[in-house]
Each structure stands twice: as C-alpha cells, then as structure tokens.
Structure 1
Amino acid sequence: MYETDSKATMSQQPTGADGQRQQPPRLKHRCFIVRHGQSIANVQGLIVSDPAVGCHDFGLSEVGVEQALEAGRALKTLLTQSATPVTALTIHTSDFLRTLQTAHHLASELVPFPVTVTSTPALRERAFGDYNHTSVAHYNDVWAHDAARVCDAQTGVESPEDVRRRAVAFVMQADEDAGEGEVCVFVGHGDTLQILQTAFEGISAWDHRTLPPLGTAEVRELP
C-alpha cells in the first residue's frame, strides 16, 4: 500500500501564513488529468476507497465505458491540433479497477499515438476511512472538515495535504522522466485529482472544493 507522511505542516501548503499564494510547481511537458468514468460505486451511491476492494471490484458502468471512450476521442482531438509534435503518450493510472478500465479505454481511442499505460498506487482514491462503503452523502461531511481545515483523524480520513503530497510527488517525477515531446496523462479519482490540481493553481490543498468539481471522465490540462 502507498505510504504517506501523516505529519502535515503549514510550510507544505501552497499559501503562506500571510495568505499569499506560493509559486506552483513547473511542468516541463503537457500533462492532463482525467477522472475515471462513471463506476458501479457511483451508480450505487457508495464510497469505495479501500484498495482491497477498489482494486478488484466496482469497475465502470456501461455509461462509464462510453464516457471513457469519449474522453479518449476528446484528448486525441486536442493532441492532433497541438502545434508541438507528440512523440509518445504515457497514461499513468491509479490501480483501482475503475481507473484502470478508464485508462485502457482512453488508450484504445488514441491510436496512432504511441501509448503506454502504467498503474501506480500514488494516484489511488483518497482514503475515506470509516466512511468507506457508506453513502456518498458523507463526502459532504469530509469536505466541510476540509473547508474548516480540520483533519478528521478519528475517522481515518486521509488529509488533503497527505493526498497532495503523494500525488504531486508522483506527477513531478513522471514529468521529469518523460522524454522530449512526450505527453503525460494521469487517470485518477475526483478528490485525488482536484487536490492535486490545487498545487498547480497555487492554492491550499484544503481549498480543493473551491475548484470546479471534476465530472466523470472529464479531461483537464494542468497549467
């Protein structure tokens, strides 16, 4: 299981103690984030964040498959229109079933680009602790704590800072390892990807819900 450091400090937030925005990390290559398509868990209204379950069950619904294929077509259009030639495309995906399926459906629509799909625990769903396998209505409880900058440690919910720490570290390393003209795509989960985006927007990880919510199979380019 992917390990995170549970000791968050103010210096690791993208806004300083005086509220000033800090300099976001700089990417060398074009990088996109894609949330997974509609999953069976979405249809059933369940939170599924336990890797022991999510890596093997609760894959995409039929609607989710079509959403992932459409996302692949949309991404292909973006890359085809790019002024910079694309030499390779690497899809880095969470190892949950719903994200793996999304990544492979994306890849199927990206021919003739040379595509590689690789999975990682670094992009897994945010750990929702005691809320796992309960109603998605509990997301609102977690997000209220986030907005108040309250770490809900008693319920075992992963803090926004810990989520961002693991996700940003992975993205920056993938960007560093990418070759000239390579495009990186990161397929993950709603909270994980929005929290990741806060780093590149120069805002606190705790304020991830101030960003427009990522729709299922939505494609966004990181700034």
Structure 2
Amino acid sequence: MNNDIWVLRHGESTANVDGLIVSAPGTRALVEVGLTSRGREQARQAGRRGLEQGLGADALVLSSDFARARQTAEEFAGVLGAQDPRLDPRLRERSFGIHDDGPASAYEQVWAVDRERGAHEGGVEPVQDVARRIGQVLREVDAPDVDVPVVLVAHGDVLQIALAVRAGVDPHDHRDVPHLGNAELRRLGDARLVDTSVGEGTPTVDVTSGHDGTPGHDGTPGHGVADDGTPSDRRADGRIPTRRDADEGAPGAAP
C-alpha cells in the first residue's frame, strides 16, 4: 500500500439504539437516521485519536452519503481541521434487502450465508458486489497522485469487507476480521488490492468495473453520479480529487 489509508465506522446512530437495519437509499437513510448525541461525541473522540496518530488538516475525508456516516465525517473532520468531507455513494451501507427496517438480529442470517458462500435472496447485496465497489474506492485512494492521508467513513459490513480485502482474506469471511465498533478508527493493512478472489471455485471480483457509469447491482447509478442524478464529489475525469487539485484549480476538480 503506497498511501496512508484509514477507515472509520460511523458513531452510534438512532438505528443502533432502536436495533434496526437501515440500508436502503431514501429519506430515512439519507436524512432521518443520523447520530445520537453520544454518536457525535464518539466521532469527535475519533478525531482526537486521529490527531494523536498523526492525522491533521491535510487529511482527505471521504464519506458515505448516509446521514449517520456523513455526520460522523463532519464531526471528525472538524476536529482535525480538515476540509469538508467528500461524499461517495460507493461507501454506502451494504443493502440488506428485505431485512431493511427490520430487527438487527437479521444480520446474523446474512453473515451465515456469507460464510457458506451461499446465494442471498430478497435483494441482499452479495459480498462480491460490496467488494467490487469498495475495491474501486481503495484503488483510487491508493493512486500515486493522492498525496495526503485518506480516511474512509462508512458502515460496518462495507468496512469489514474492505479490511478483509486489504488483509488478503476472502471477503466472504469478513466477520473473521476483528469487527469495528462505533466510531472506531483503524489503519488499513498492507495488502495491495488488484483483483480480489472471492472464494475457491468462484469467479474473481473485478474491482475495476463500474467506472463507465453503469448501474450497480441494485440499479443505483455508477461512478460519478449519486442516486438522485447529482454529481458525486469526484473529478470529471473520474478520479477522486486531491487537495493539490483544489489548490491548483485543476480542470474538473470538485469545488
């Protein structure tokens, strides 16, 4: 791994307190289900831990656009003195399909299917689809022209799969990786991501696909476009903008 890349799970959310799964893009996830007051303090504490670990105002904070992650990223970046977080729909929570708005106990059912390399039903997002979209982000932030520390703020399953990928673990076994608590900040491992094998006898995940704007598994727009058709915080040429882009006013840089 060339670059200094960190992951940060969102702080305690109202859904955590209520014991509910909220994963479908829509008003609840994007607006209503945000952090509790405890979750906001957890995010600020993560910022203070980041400062202790050497992160600072030059850090590039990329976040899921779901409210609980976005609010975490804002609190965290504020403590660092960093620029406002850039939102990337590819960092959204894994879609749990028919389990959405249901009890969090359903997570165990999904993870059991993951471990068995089974086929999910009811619109649950397959592990390989999550690995593909998070893999795209990891490749971009590990590019030579990203010359600052990067913090990815997202959700439990998405970041567990990212940690597994970077540790060289089959992403189906993401629960074998020590799980992230609320607002836990962790540096990614050193394994370089190229293509990710998703299990013996299964196809290789092509982590480079999706850069042509084609829809994802659930019909959400691909690279560079949010679900409502507005551009995401990436350059017109498709790569994540760096602080140097902003300083130099490079064409296509996000404002």
Q: Please state which band the TM-score falls in when normalised by the shorter chain.
A: 0.7 to 0.9
CA contact (8 A) 1:93 1:117 kept: yes
- Pair 1:74-2:42 in alignment: no
- Pair 1:148-2:116 in alignment: yes
Deviation for aligned residue 1:198 = 1.0
CA contact (8 A) 1:89 1:116 kept: no
- Pair 1:59-2:29 in alignment: no
RMSD of equivalent CA atoms: 1.4
Counterparts of 1:105 and 1:87, CA distance in 2: 13
- Pair 1:40-2:14 in alignment: yes
Superimposed CA distance per residue, residues 103-159 of structure 1 (whole angstroms, 9 cap, x where no aligned partner): 000011113xx434100100000000000000000001001111111121x211001
Counterparts of 2:49 and 2:61, CA distance in 1: 15
Counterparts of 2:126 and 2:146, CA distance in 1: 33
Aligned to 1:175: 142
Give the secondary-structure state (helix, strand or coil) at the position aligned to 1:56: helix
Deviation for aligned residue 1:88 = 2.1
Aligned to 1:83: none
Deviation for aligned residue 1:197 = 1.0
Deviation for aligned residue 1:174 = 2.4
Equivalenced residues, count: 188
Sequence identity percentage:
38
Aligned to 1:17: none
Give the secondary-structure state (helix, strand or coil) at the position aligned to 1:95: coil
Counterparts of 1:197 and 1:99, CA distance in 2: 17
Which one has more relative contact order, counting CA pairs under 8 Å at least 6 apart? 1
Give the secondary-structure state (helix, strand or coil) at the position aligned to 2:54: helix
Where do 4+ consecutive residues of structure 1 move more than 4 Å? none
Ranges in structure 1 where 5+ consecutive residues have no aligned partner: 1-26, 81-85
- Pair 1:199-2:174 in alignment: no
Q: How does 1:76-115 map to 2 (within 5 A)?
A: 76-79=51-54, 88-111=58-81, 114-115=82-83
Give the secondary-structure state (helix, strand or coil) at the position aligned to 2:142: helix
Aligned to 1:118: 86
Q: Normalising to structure 2: TM-score of the pair?
A: 0.71
Ranges in structure 2 where 5+ consecutive residues have no aligned partner: 190-255
One-letter identity of the residue aligned with 2:102: T
